[in-house]
Amino acid sequence: KAKVLTGYVLTPAPSVAGLSLPDASAADADFEFVAQPGHLLIMYFGYMSCPDVCPTTLSDVRKALKELGGDASKIDLAMATVDPNRDTGPNLTSYVQGFVPGAHALRTDDPALLKSVADKFGASYSVTTEATGEIVVTHSAALYVIDETGTVVLTWAYGTANGEAIATDLQILFEGGVK
């Protein structure tokens, strides 16, 4: 039986090599969107006060890593906040690492930088303040898998892959000889 990916592959596959965002979990360091050799990087754009989508997505990644067993050590996770005015560095790091220990929390105060990086991934978001003062955040909620060349090799749209499906897709990518 042929193994079929749950996620989808864009053609041509986007390259995010050369892009980076400040890593809130490592003082004064930039995080580059390139996986370590033999590893894969999962990237996500979200925010801490998200009521449902972000915690569900990050929980699915945590479940996938548990399912992968030893291969989980070859997966890195990074989440960039789309709400940097409320998501401060230390809190964001604690939030992301609460789901996946060692994960990278990415945050910038430069709206143009965040938008340019998100655009390259195909991610979208908006943060608006209503007349009542309520802050409303909307965002696409895909997970992106990046290889060591900085190529987005797989994307999961929100709701299309649970932890088991994510783990299966990652195993297929490793078996296919992730470069």
Could you read off the pLDDT of 105-146 as tens digits, one per residue?
Answer: 999 999 999 999 999 999 999 999 999 999 999 999 999 999
Distance of CA 29 to the CA centre of its chain: 18
Residue 77 carries which side chain, given as an amino acid letter? L
CA–CA distance, 10 with 161 (Å, rounded to integer):
17
Mean pLDDT across the stretch 20-43?
91
Is the CB of residue 118 less than 8 Å from the CB of residue 124? yes
Assign 12 to helix, strand or coil: coil
Q: Centre a 10 Å sphere on the Cβ of residue 119 and count the other Cβ atoms it contains.
A: 10
pLDDT per residue over 46-63, tens digit each?
999 999 999 999 999 999
Both tokens of 75, joined, read 């997966």
CA–CA distance, 151 with 13 (Å, rounded to integer):
6
Confidence of residue 41 (pLDDT cuts 50, 70, 90): very high
Confidence of residue 178 (pLDDT cuts 50, 70, 90): very low
Give, as one character, the DSSP assignment of residue 8. B
Higher pLDDT, 154 or 27: 154
- Torsion angle, alpha carbons of 88, 91, 96, 102, to 10: 110
How much is the mean pLDDT over the chain? 92
